[in-house]
Each structure stands twice: as C-alpha cells, then as structure tokens.
C-alpha cells in the first residue's frame, strides 16, 4: 500500500511539474519545435541550391560593395583595421559571432514559449516570416560576404585567429557562404531586442538587450561575414515581417502593436 501511495505521489508530482513547465502539454511544445525547425530544413535546401552560383554570388557581392561606396557606407575596412589594432577586442567579436547567435535566439524563443505563452504565436509567426523573407533573398540574390571578395580588402578573422571557420571544418558544412544579403544574424538580434522591449517592464533589462543588435552588427562586420547593407537588409525584413504578421495574426488579447504593447505586457 505504501508503495502504491509513493508511486501515486511521485507520478502526481511529476505530472504537476510537467504541467508547470509545459502548461499546454508536452505535445504542444513538440509541435511548436517542429514548426520552428522547418526553417532550418528549408535553409539547408537553399544552401544546397546555392552550389553552382558562386560566380553570381561574387558578382552580387561586388555590386553591394559598389553601392556602399556610392552611399558612403563602405565602413568594413575601417572597422576591421581599427578593431584589429586591439587584439582582445577582435578576439571578443570572433567569439561573439561564433558562440552567441544561435544560443541567444533559441533562448529567446524558449523564454517566449514558457514565460509569455499567451503571445507566443505572434512572435513565432513573426520569426517564421522574417526567416521566409531571408531565405527568399538568399535564393533570388545569392551574395558573397566581404571575406570572399578579394578586392574588398577584408580578411576572414575567424580563419586567421581561431579554430573556427566557415571555409573549412564543421562550420563549413552548416553555413551557406553565399547568404550575406540580408543578414539573418542582425535580423535575429533585432527580433530578440524587440521581444524584450515589448514584453519586459524593467527598463534596465530593455536597455541592456537594446545593445545586442549593435554588438551583433559589429561582430558580423568586423569578422568580414557581412556587408553593412546586409544589416540594413536584416532590419528591413524584420520590420516587414512584423508589419505582415501584425496585420494578419491576432494574439488572444489584441493585435500586437508597437504603441500600446504595455497593454498586454506581463511583469518581468
């Protein structure tokens, strides 16, 4: 009898713990993961399709460089040169670029699901929409980054200063080297900062995370992995995806808007 009681109490406690973590059930969590994972598989397909488009990607990269020079935005050589004068700073941006991007966005999505489940569908769809726009851009306009354009004067700092590189090794098997425009690195960073700004009340946390897109911009530019205009493109698709989802998707409470977001913000 005592064994049965112990078993029941244990299973009841386990069930309560699971329900506390996954209020909509484990099945719903798995379903959401499957939806978000679909973008990865589409990206993998596009990466394979990019093979054979190297010449076009380099041509498009040169065009981006020319456009930046015409607009006065050709900052990459200046930023990389001055950053390289202080090696710890360059090492920091190498580390930041390699290690922060995916953990940060995955952590953001998990936080949104577990702590802000009521509005999670909006942010999920926003995230999916910006990925779709980015993948369409990669498919239609494959673009080589500065590090793959010899005339840019930009070097691959990851290749030179660390064991990580998108030219050789495991990372080369995961990344699309001709997916510079638009920058999903910057788009994800901006998405994360906006999510915190919309949903967190503490001003210091909002200000802290507001620096994240700037740090990501510096990291992707200094390491030679993106043009300045790539970050502009990332900001454009993030804004376009937001506007699209805000007009077509409703949260359980109201349509999410930049102004009045505090009406459905939960306390951090």
pLDDT, tens digit (0-9, with 9 covering 90-100), for 5-21: 655 555 554 555 555 66
Q: What pLDDT is stored for residue 8 in this prediction?
A: 57
Q: What pLDDT is stored for residue 260 in this prediction?
A: 41
Inside any domain, residue 244: yes
Higher pLDDT, 161 or 164: 161
Please count the structural domains in the chain: 1
Inside any domain, residue 17: no
Inside any domain, residue 37: yes
Q: Mean pLDDT throughout 221-248?
A: 93
Q: What pLDDT is stored for residue 263 in this prediction?
A: 39
Inside any domain, residue 58: yes
Q: What pLDDT is stored for residue 253 in this prediction?
A: 42
Could you please report the per-residue DSSP string of the chain? -HHHHHHHHHHHHHHHHHHHH-TT-HHHHHHHHHHHHHHHHHHHHHHHHTTT-HHHHHHHHHHHHHHHHHHT---HHHHHHHHHTSHHHHHHHHHHHHHTHHHHHHHHHHHHHHH-GGGHHHHHHHHHHHHHHHHHHHHHS-B--GGG-GGGT---HHHHHSS--SSSSHHHHHS-TTB-SS-HHHHHHHHHHHHHHHH---HHHHHHHHTHHHHHHHHHHHTTS--HHHHHHHHHHHHHHHHHHHHH---SSS---STTGGGGPPP-
Q: What pLDDT is stored for residue 249 in this prediction?
A: 72
Q: Is the pLDDT of residue 237 over 70?
A: yes
What is the rounded distance in angstroms from the CA atom of residue 95 to the CA atom of residue 33?
A: 27
Asked if residues 247 and 136 have their Cβ atoms less than 8 Å apart, the reply is: no
Looking at 84-88, 169-173, 192-196, 255-259, which range is the least confident one?
Answer: 255-259
Inside any domain, residue 159: yes
- pTM for the model stands at 0.83
pLDDT, tens digit (0-9, with 9 covering 90-100), for 24-35: 667 777 777 777
Q: What pLDDT is stored for residue 116 in this prediction?
A: 85
Look up the domain containing 114 and give its range: 28-264
pLDDT, tens digit (0-9, with 9 covering 90-100), for 78-117: 999 989 888 899 999 999 998 898 899 999 998 998 888 8
Q: Mean pLDDT throughout 257-266?
A: 42
Q: CB neighbours of 138 closer than 8 A, spacing ≥ 6?
A: 46, 50, 176, 178, 179, 181
Inside any domain, residue 112: yes
Report residue 41's pLDDT band, with 50, 70 and 90 as the boundaries. confident
Inside any domain, residue 15: no
Inside any domain, residue 256: yes
Q: Mean pLDDT throughout 59-83?
A: 93
What is the rounded distance in angstroms from the CA atom of residue 219 to the CA atom of residue 215?
A: 6
């Amino acid at each position: 009898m005592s064994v049965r009681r112990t078993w029941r109490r244990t299973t009841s406690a386990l069930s309560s713990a699971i329900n506390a973590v996954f209020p909509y059930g484990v099945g719903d969590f798995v379903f959401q993961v499957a939806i978000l994972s679909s973008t990865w598989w589409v990206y993998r397909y596009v990466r394979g399709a990019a093979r054979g488009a190297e010449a076009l990607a380099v041509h498009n990269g040169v065009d981006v460089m020319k456009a930046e020079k015409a607009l006065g935005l050709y900052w990459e050589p200046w930023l990389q040169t001055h950053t390289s004068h202080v090696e710890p700073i360059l090492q920091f941006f190498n580390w930041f670029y390699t290690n922060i991007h995916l953990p940060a966005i995955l952590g953001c999505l998990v936080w949104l699901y577990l702590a802000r489940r009521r509005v999670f569908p909006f942010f999920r769809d926003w995230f999916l929409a910006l990925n779709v726009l980015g993948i369409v851009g990669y498919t239609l306009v494959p673009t080589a980054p500065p590090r793959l354009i010899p005339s840019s004067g930009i070097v691959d700092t990851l290749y030179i200063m660390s064991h990580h590189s998108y030219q050789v090794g495991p990372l080369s098997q995961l990344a699309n080297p001709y997916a510079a425009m638009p920058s999903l690195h910057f788009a994800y960073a901006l998405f994360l900062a906006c999510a915190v700004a919309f949903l967190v009340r503490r001003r210091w946390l909002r200000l802290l995370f507001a620096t994240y897109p700037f740090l990501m911009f510096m990291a992707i530019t200094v390491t030679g992995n993106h043009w300045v205009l790539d970050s502009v493109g990332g900001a454009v698709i993030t804004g376009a995806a937001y506007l699209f989802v805000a007009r077509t998707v409703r949260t359980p409470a109201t349509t999410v808007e930049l102004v009045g977001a505090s009406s459905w913000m939960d306390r951090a």
